[in-house]
Each structure stands twice: as structure tokens, then as C-alpha cells.
Amino acid sequence: MADAAAAPAADAASISVENGIVKFFFATGKADVAAGADKALAEIVAGVKAGKKAIVSGYVDSTGSAAQNEELAKQRAVAVRDQLKALGVDEGSIDLQKPGNVEAGAGAQARRVEVKLM
């Protein structure tokens, strides 16, 4: 699947697909999933139906406190998990993982949730 969006806008929700990894970008302080999520997740849904697991990891930028950011990363990952469930993916086939380093730098590229197949 080609990129759904080349790069996230400065402070708007967007989605891109790169090398089989679906990246959801979020506005500052928000956990709202961008439009087009169903289409972007189609390959992930197909992979899960073929027996793979969906791995969901949430990251944040350096804005705000570490505790708030960790909670926001979790809320964003849960929002993407819920989107997968709405597409028919069983919760048992979704693995929410906390990345080794939740804080991924500054800007829109850092405010993301990544979904990949394992």
C-alpha cells in the first residue's frame, strides 16, 4: 500500500503507511484517530485474519510532563486498538506494547502510534 500521507501536518491528525507499518500521527494533547484509518489498516486486518498479531506502540513528543505524555501515549494506542476492534480484529490478536523510549523527540513525527504485524 502506498503512503496515505507523506508527512504529518504541523499539528493535525494524519496517517501514513511505510514498509508495512501504519503510522498514526496526532495533534498536540489529542488522541483522536485521523480519517482514513480503516483504509490504512486494511493490510493489518488482512494479516491478522491470516494468523498474525497486530503490534500497537504509542509514542509522544517532548511537550508537557513525562507522566502526562505516558498517559497520552497509552490513550492513543488504545484509540488505535479500538479502531482495529471496530474492523473485526479480535482483541486477543492485538498486542499493546510500550516502546523502550516512549518519548520520541519533538514535533508531529513524535506524536504517533505505530501498528505492524508480527
CATH of the domain at 23: 3.30.1330.60
Task: Confirm whether 6 is domain-assigned.
Answer: no
- CA-to-CA distance for 79 and 61, rounded, in angstroms? 18
The residue segments making up the domain with residue 75 are 14-117
Task: Confirm whether 52 is domain-assigned.
Answer: yes
Task: Confirm whether 7 is domain-assigned.
Answer: no
Q: Taking a C-beta distance cutoff of 8 angstroms, is the pair 15, 112 a contact?
A: no
Give, for all 118 residues of the chain, the pLDDT tens digit. 344 444 455 678 999 999 999 999 998 889 999 999 999 999 999 999 999 999 999 888 887 788 888 888 899 999 999 999 999 999 999 999 987 676 667 767 788 999 999 9
Task: Confirm whether 8 is domain-assigned.
Answer: no
Cα distances (angstroms) measured from residue 20 to each of 33, 55, 67, 77, 79: 19, 12, 30, 18, 20
pTM above 0.75, yes or no: yes
CB burial of residue 71 (10 Å; 0-12, 13-18, 19+): middle
Count of domains observed in the chain: 1
Task: Confirm whether 34 is domain-assigned.
Answer: yes
The Cβ-side half-sphere exposure at 93, using a 13 Å CA radius, reads 19
